[in-house]
Structure 1
Amino acid sequence: MDTKELYREILNEHNLNPSHKKELPGANFTMNGINPSCGDNITLNLKVEDGIIVDGSFTGSGCAVSQASCDMMLDLVIGKTKEEAERLDGIFMGMIKGEADENQIEELDEAAALQDIAHMPARVKCAVLGWRTMKELFAKGEDCAMCSNPNCCGVK
């Protein structure tokens, strides 16, 4: 089996049988992410305790790339600190831009299957939707995680 075929299998498996596509009771960080160019729409849920992402999930709909990428991202960040998750986000974005080296890309485990998305500009926004949503969630979440105003910024 060649590498591209293996990557397609990984992508299909995460799209058809996502481990993290479900509701997450007790999530203390929640944010909606939208890719208006193709209609992908996810809600990312994270449960963070003592600075560690102890669980995560997503709901919503979208293309195979957006759904698989979000599932793979959650595989990577659950059990990590916010800082570690942000570092992985930086590596993922670097990979998509063609700026990450092979050692960095190896850290992405199955998410490395999306490396060739960089050559498909129309699909880049799909691949980065979950990652971008997580980054925005962390950026706003510090101030808004306990906010009781649902119209404030979208972070629960």
Structure 2
Amino acid sequence: MSLENKYPVQLDQLYRQVIMDHYKNPRNRGEIADGALTVRMNNPTCGDRVQLQMIVKDGKIEEAKFVGEGCSISLASASMMTEVIKGKTVDDALKLSAIFSDMMQGKDYDDETFDLGDLEALQGVSKFPARIKCATLAWKAMEKGLSEEQEE
């Protein structure tokens, strides 16, 4: 029996607390002064906006920061994402994005390859299809930026 089935209310409450902590105390919020790969994206449906900046050297994400406006899900997800991708290779960051996408769609996802940490707090978003775009906005920005970086 999974923890979620055994303690659904407590786990849901814990996940809500993790999301609100990242929303109220975002990690890696701010801008990188010079030389950063910069991607701006918005969700016209709800008005969420994010600017993601990354420093990528030798195939590795050395730094990641974001600024933006939006709901708690959108900004918490950006905070969590920047924490988890820093220090990862581009390939690993893209694999994480695919895992996160599966989780957001309510599919079975690989939680063995990487420690998802706080990201798992967002798994409940899959029950609210309108909010999935909020949770994935920063991830789509990261994918776009890294694919543009690889093309150059």
Question: Which segment drifts farther, 38-47 or 98-107?
Answer: 98-107
Shift of residue 27 of structure 1? 4.3
- Say whether residues 1:44 and 2:68 are aligned partners: no
Structure 1 unpaired stretches of 5+: 145-156
RMSD: 1.7
Supply the AA of the counterpart residue of 2:42: I
Q: Which residue of the partner structure matches residue 87 of structure 2?
A: 79
**1:5-154 equivalent positions in 2, closer than 5 A:** 5-101=13-109, 103-104=111-112, 107-144=115-152
**TM-score in terms of structure 2 length:** 0.88
Supply the AA of the counterpart residue of 1:52: K
Aligned residue pair count = 144
Question: For residues 4-38 of structure 1, what are the alpha-carbon distances to aligned partners after superposition, in whole Å with 9 as ceiling and x for unaligned?
Answer: 11100100000000011111123421100111110
Supply the AA of the counterpart residue of 2:151: D
Question: For residues 60-106 of structure 1, what are the alpha-carbon distances to aligned partners after superposition, in whole Å with 9 as ceiling and x for unaligned?
Answer: 21111100001100111000000000000010001111223463497
**TM-score in terms of structure 1 length:** 0.86
Supply the AA of the counterpart residue of 1:36: P
Give me the whole-angstrom Cα distance separating, in 2, the residues matched to 1:106 and 1:137: 21
